[in-house]
Amino acid sequence: MRVVIAEDNVLLAHGLELMLTAKGFEVAAVTGDAEAFAAAVDTHRPDVAVVDVRLPPGFRDEGIRAAIRARRRRPGLPVLVLSQYVERSYAGELVADGSGGVGYLLKDRVGRVAAFTDALRRVAAGETVMDPEVIAQLLAPRAHDPLASLTPREGEVLALMAQGLDNTTLAERLVITENAVHKHIGNIFAKLGLSPADTGHRRVLAVLTHLSHH
């Protein structure tokens, strides 16, 4: 079974490649961004693709958008999406066409090798495989508080943004990389529904949302 992987975290991507190869899969390509993923799908015509929701350069929804476009070019292309958190709108859009051959798993499930490879084989066979937490989130009523969907770390990042700290200082304060800060801020913008069209104002709008709920 031929697989194409789209994952920008080098360690996770390498781990997935080793794990799948050991389990008898043929990993045709490992890519780190949406453009390379699209090219790899066209070149290798995989039996199934494994895609991270957030990829460079924006770390918002590039991965899942690329997966949806790939399924439009190749109807029925099986895609298993991996995400750090449950992204309700993305998960809903992925399964919206009802054609099957899709999966949505949280990344902490990847370490359960047997469960992950079973999910991948089922997706390749045309089934829909959803993480139980994803199903629970999709069925749950939407919170009125726009900040309710933020993780504790994202809430911490937003609170420090409200103090006027730039990304470099945020990274130093939280003892994380600037790339991690960039990802967290992208998550915050997405969860607060701040459109890329608001590029010049999203940080301000995010901070105003934080201040209005505290």
| Domain harbouring 108, CATH code | 3.40.50.2300
* Domain match, 73 and 173 both: no
* Domain match, 111 and 35 both: yes
Q: Give the count of domains, the chain.
A: 2
| Domain harbouring 190, CATH code | 1.10.10.10
Q: Give the pLDDT confidence score for residue 73 in this predicted structure.
A: 87
Q: Give the pLDDT confidence score for residue 123 in this predicted structure.
A: 93
The three-class DSSP label of residue 68 is helix
- The list of the chain residues with pLDDT below 50 reads none
Q: Give the pLDDT confidence score for residue 197 in this predicted structure.
A: 57
* Domain match, 87 and 182 both: no
Q: Give the pLDDT confidence score for residue 61 in this predicted structure.
A: 79
* Domain match, 135 and 59 both: yes
Q: Which of 100, 117, 139 is the last residue of a domain?
A: 139
Closest CA to 75 of 51, 38, 100, 92: 100
* Domain match, 158 and 187 both: yes
Angle value at C-alpha 49, between 41 and 16, nearest 5 degrees: 120
* Domain match, 59 and 113 both: yes
* Domain match, 121 and 175 both: no
Q: Give the pLDDT confidence score for residue 140 in this predicted structure.
A: 56
Domain annotation covers residue 147: no
* Domain match, 34 and 82 both: yes
Q: Give the pLDDT confidence score for residue 98 in this predicted structure.
A: 57
38 vs 149: CA distance, rounded Å = 30
* Domain match, 50 and 121 both: yes
Range of the domain at 107: 2-139
pTM: 0.64
* Domain match, 106 and 19 both: yes
| Contacts of residue 175, Cβ cutoff 8 Å, sequence gap at least 6 | none
31 vs 25: CA distance, rounded Å = 17
* Domain match, 97 and 9 both: yes
